[in-house]
Structure 1
């Protein structure tokens, strides 16, 4: 028995530069069968479906507590693995920056970030640790072992969600 499923969730954000709208799509393509997915194929992947280089920060909760880390530089029209192996949490958190246009994809989940490469444990007192509180977008993986997130530029005619 085989199941194919794909879901998308769009969260528009307006760029600070040109009046374009960017959308974040959470996409899962799940193919289940009676055979387990090999661990080498499992993980969290981010696909940059824009024409610009983006920087990505990731947040998650593991056995040691909350963590945030960054930056992955993801080239245009490239997918990059952020976490290898089966996913251990249901929720992951993404913040991305469009280096060329200056826009960002984020949300209301506050985690700590720094401008340069970082791994930060904990989500409290960011400023006291020379970090800043940044709004990340929550991704619900539904406890799947493998998940893909795509960020893309929306069509200019598309209106922001109300």
Structure 2
């Protein structure tokens, strides 16, 4: 699994004919699911995301996590994180999980974070969306469950 994690002052997602979903201070997580991902990847990435210390403490140092601050999360599925641009001019997506498997692991990721008591808002799976990200800092981290060591 891959994630682009951004510290935000607010975030939102909308899709045609759907309600606009919003969060306040917290994290926007753009989540990609790979074809070889499983439950261990879900647990690792959820734990890393929730405990990533990228919020400032009273001394201005990045020393607090979204769990410490009580922030919210907006999790948006983004298969294009598995786009391979090495050859040609059009990305290939053969490393991305098929939609059915990706949706299950995406939902498992969301459930894992919610089980820790955090508010999670989701995007619309397999839907064209507009994502609003008010990046705070800016602070952006790249996480990959296959690059743990």
If the TM-score is normalised by the length of the shorter chain, which range does it land in? under 0.3
More strand by share: 1
Length-normalised TM-score, structure 1 = 0.23
TM-score (norm 2): 0.24
Q: Determine which structure has the larger helix proportion and give its number.
A: 2
